[in-house]
Amino acid sequence: MKIGSHDTASRVIVIAEIGNNHEGNLDVAQQLVREAARCGVDAVKFQTFKAEHFVRPADTARMAQMRRFELKPEEFTALARLAKSLGLLFISTPLDLGSVNVLQPFVDCFKVASGDSNFYPLLARVADTGRPLIISTGVSDLAQVQETLRFVRQRWAQRSVSPEFAVLHCVSSYPVPDEQANLRSIPFLREQLGCTIGYSDHTQGEEAVVLAVAIGAQIIEKHFTLDHNFSEFRDHKVSADPLGMRSLVQRIRKVEGFLGVFDKKLQPCEATVIAAIRRSVVAATDLPAGHRIESVDLMWMRPAGGLQPGEEDLLIGKVLRRAVQSGDLLSLSDAS
């Protein structure tokens, strides 16, 4: 998947999921963006919404919280400008239809939340923008993921567009118990869907993310906070703080180095040891000139430097032109 100048074919895209950890404070949001950049991530992600457009009024506690967490459209514009000035991609998850319109002028990529993978009016609105799209798959089984992609692709086809897109394996719990992270969904989804697959992490710690990259995740999304104890808001506890995010990015890049390429070829560091650990055909005992070579006259020893194992038949039955000692390398010029 390509987003701007970033391409998962060359390296993992790491997203710092700020989400609502700013709690409605623009200064905190800007500080989070700056800290994320210092940690070495590729992108920051927010949630964009009007509380009254996606929370039922009867849910008074939730409504009060989300109203407190709202940022204004002009504040998102400022955050996007800041992110891009720091070399970061700006991604956001719209949680209502109007927020798609707010984000469209400046967002680099839309993200659909796990809970909205069957919210078809929102999927249609996002798909119609033609912008790159990431879809999260928490609380969805394979059938729902396939239906979501079918709907989005059909919408794109109707408009003759073909944006970049990816699907993230996700388990929607805060935090996710280690034994339920189910990271094997990553290669499974890649096999079933044939597209870029990433991982949206809600576990505590770094292990799940590192393992996800090792088994093929090409996008990593990890919640990000200034401080795990910033407030009682649940997301802070499952987020990486600046120290943790910096460590996580470093570990991801190290794992990428370990993974290499999808191929099997000699590595440059092996060049100097090939001869030392390969074998060549040698004389098993002292043999005089004129001796007709038999299989019992041959053995295989390190280091290599002559005929390889499997080339014995080139010598067997031939007559030695010179006397050889036990362990001497044998070549085709030694016999006729």
SS3 label, residue 308: coil
Domain identity same for 255 and 277: no
Q: Do 299 and 293 contact (CB within 8 A), yes or no? A: no
Residue 336: per-residue pLDDT = 94
What distance in Å separates the CA atoms of residue 292 and residue 219, rounded to the nearest whole number? 65
Domain identity same for 224 and 287: no
DSSP line for 49-115? --GGGTS-TT-HHHHHHHHHH---HHHHHHHHHHHHHTT-EEEEEE-SHHHHHHHTTT-SEEEE-GG
Which amino acid is residue 185, in one-letter code? S
Decide which of 209, 242, 259 is a domain's last residue. 259
Strands 196-201 and 165-170: parallel
Residue 243: per-residue pLDDT = 97
Q: How many residues does the chain have?
A: 336
What distance in Å separates the CA atoms of residue 135 and residue 290, rounded to the nearest whole number? 77
Is 19 part of any domain? yes
Domain identity same for 117 and 187: yes
Token code pair at residue 324 = 């050889």
Single out the residue of 64, 57, 70 nearest to residue 19, CA to CA.
Answer: 70
Domain identity same for 244 and 274: no
Is 4 part of any domain? no
Domain identity same for 69 and 123: yes
pLDDT tens for the chain, 336 residues long, are 999 999 999 999 999 999 999 999 999 999 999 999 999 999 999 999 999 999 999 999 999 999 999 999 999 999 999 999 999 999 999 999 999 999 999 999 999 999 999 999 999 999 999 999 999 999 999 999 999 999 999 999 999 999 999 999 999 999 999 999 999 999 999 999 999 999 999 999 999 999 999 999 999 999 999 998 898 888 888 899 999 999 999 999 999 999 998 899 999 999 999 999 999 999 999 999 999 999 999 999 999 999 999 999 999 999 999 999 999 999 999 999
Count how many domains the chain has.
2
Domain identity same for 61 and 132: yes
Task: CATH number of the domain at 154, please.
Answer: 3.20.20.70
Decide which of 239, 259, 279 is a domain's last residue. 259
Residue 229: per-residue pLDDT = 84
Token match 């950890």: residue? 21
Domain identity same for 53 and 122: yes
Domain identity same for 24 and 139: yes
Is 60 part of any domain? yes
Model pTM above 0.75: yes
Domain identity same for 220 and 306: no
Token code pair at residue 237 = 């506890």
Domain identity same for 302 and 189: no
Is 335 part of any domain? no
Token code pair at residue 211 = 């393992």
Residue 228: per-residue pLDDT = 86
Decide which of 219, 240, 259 is a domain's last residue. 259
Domain identity same for 176 and 311: no
Is 243 part of any domain? yes
Q: Which domain holds residue 284?
A: 268-329
Is 25 part of any domain? yes
Task: CATH number of the domain at 273, please.
Answer: 3.90.1210.10
Is 336 part of any domain? no
Is 334 part of any domain? no
Domain identity same for 251 and 277: no
